[in-house]
Structure 1
């Protein structure tokens, strides 16, 4: 009611005097919006406290008689339920504006709350959602070039059109793949885009293909599963998307992951212009609300209810709380994902520990007693609740990031290297000349353990699933000392390789019968170091059944202590700087696609380390380049 100067009732009508603030001019409007708004406020004078909020919904019979006023008088009369007639006149009674009907509609508080949430949640992004695939319908396919697919084969489009001219039946769809040069370089992307452009132009110039669709196959062109797209393949995808917008219905894009040929009939029946196939799942692009944190809010990826990865969600974080004297607040750029996180999400790990135990980022703030670190420093180390843009930890859990390390590389180091180091050095006391069995040697801890064991001078035996053996060989483990982690045959393989002597140390990450088979490889006694929490054994029972075997289960977070963690971090960084240790392969997902990363790790498909990257906030002192700045977007 800021523009209302006076109001009164007479004979069922409301009269209002309205005016713009002193000194304000009309601004060139026929009727100033502020003055018009004040006129409508008179219609709210009959409202009682607690009534529903009402807003103008529609008006009709609007006539403007005079312009340029800054003061006016209004008469408002009811002409039906929630409907008013409004007349505005000048100070001398001259007609200014009349409205035959102004209809108000009630707005419930729930709707208002929803509207407020809508303003907060109004940012959208591209998401890849699974689509249901039905039974394949009949489809006649033509396949160009050397593309591995089922259908009638032709060397190129020219050959196909010659066959059609000679009476061959027209296909429903034509499968083609653009030749993409090796290497993920700008030049490879340019060559691939030129090839795609030639294919598109040749297809559109054809006269014999009628309503057939050209299905262009790419491989790893889009991040449908959170993976990093192949730049050259992505250039083909981008060019074909432009062609789709200009020629609807003529092109289909299908991005494959190498898991096998899809059922083309069923896929084409979807009538989706763009699809991605990941592990036999068909995904299509959909508009979805962007993840939290896009406006700088404090949040973290957490499990709402243990037992299912579907209950992973973005929730508020307390990382903005006041710091303790020895604490550091860090802007997280990347956080390591460990199998421990997967077990905790699935409710298979004891205790209630927050997800996200390691990260790398930039110091934002330090506690009063913190020395050696200042805002702006790049650090990495151990945290609790690191799957978000900000996390807090003890100063002793951090180390400066060495020059040349990326945030993703640094986030992949703390847990796996500390666990392997503590298990082999502090607990097992592994010595030069001894034999050590490292289970799951292609995983994060396994690859770290192999490197540390070889540095200590031990003879390494390793298990991994067969497709990952190349990664273990690359660490320096010869074929005779590698066996499968998917069956119990490793006991016989390693027993034979050692002449029945077995090994001195087992670093275990398996369970059930695999534990028993591993204990059988300690016939002369030794140290069995258990990292897992899913199949714990009684040390006394193990010692009674296996003479001379010392069984010890550990959790590095609980066992080592903060001061020893700090010492080990320094020792591990030193080994990296000496060239003794090398970074394991890292595969990244955006933390807002964390559910996909959790599934990937749960299924044991990773080699090396899985890392969740966190979007960096805008620097308030920095600069932003906006291209196409005069467009609507």
Structure 2
């Protein structure tokens, strides 16, 4: 089959493939089957993937070449996979066999160039999509969906669970429970007395001869952190799936409460578990902390695995098209800014009038038309109501744009200048900034590039240069080196002539390699192994400077990397240590925690 012009056909139907996805190299038809060779372009790294997504996508492209499915006048797109197995990793080339299995579905067998199996799919179901729908989707017309919560419709003839057991999300390790016996027995409780079981100390099981529960309830406490809540929930879910006692098939109903961050994380976890184990897990989110077990049991409805209770009304999630009415709408006149009502949800974001943007300028101020704003993790925390202490009064702290007006005393800038810098209320059409906090944008830079620079590079420069005094030849460790400040710090330290070491999660090591670090100078930020790794790499000398963003035992391990003394610069906010204690415990180590704003405008 000629495939040289293959991708022109899908493009006419509204399917545009970028260069990485144009992997079809050759194809053949034989006895109702299609065979093909697909490959990744040169330079595309398949490491880190079970099967590179672009390569898998290319393996599906030949489906339309042999009449394997009925295209019905439109494009056929993958809908669901069944029976997927990965036999080998790292493939950059595949030999593919596609066979019809009926009902607009195919099976796939994928091997490498030597014929060794790479992956297989028992059934891939496809569904037709019209060219009109694809074209509409490509320009954003009616292509997005949102989740609407609608009142639940009572179902006649449904029966609530007769017996309910409550399991606590206990602090002790649920993995230690032997689910093959009943060493911690408790009988299932009739719903009329279910509240008596609320304080069960640990996951328990129905005893022999007792009536097995039809429903198991686990309430997520409000006082848990995100990590602890998720850890406890996943341990309980795994325990439930391994259970072989009577009533083990009864669904586990997890109860959460509103916009609490830990509870939101648990809901995401449970929804994933529901997808993997249909019918085994239910989810109730309620604004009533005192809801008795019998009331919870009465809310269980056939076919609904996620329900919400608000003001006594039972609601269920339904997909709805996201229309223009869902967009953030700017005010009709004048400047606007993005702000939040601080309710703990991104739904609270809104575009509000910004009268301060047009107020008369004071000495030293400039008015800027914003072209691009940098999004900082701080902004995410503020928008979600998770920022520690008193939340900052605005969103956005860095931007690039054009000077519209200068105030008294400003002589180094003029209207029309392109500038970047620390800009308050940066998510706005225009705003007012301190002229000392901005500089001109280099001519070759885009506004987007310029807006990404101020906070991360200023933080890195302050920590390494102003506070640590890094010099050529120093050994510098940058923790979280693949993060925003981390990548800036690696570049600054290398610019200064330092020998740079960095940690990052393994999936991000490629970013550190791109910055010029080799394997001997990279370690994981998820393991304490970096201590021994870097001590060995420096023949025991360790570091001269550490720029830290980790906490807990990772701080202690990092301090061990300063056996000759040195400067420990803390830019995190979650584990601040006492400098005098550090100096007493680690000879010659100067400890300094800092926040960029301490530098002052000058």
Q: TM-score, normalised by structure 2?
A: 0.49
- The higher radius of gyration belongs to 1
Bigger RCO of structures 1 and 2 (CA < 8 A, at least 6 apart): 1
Task: Please report the TM-score for the alignment, with normalisation by the length of structure 1.
Answer: 0.47
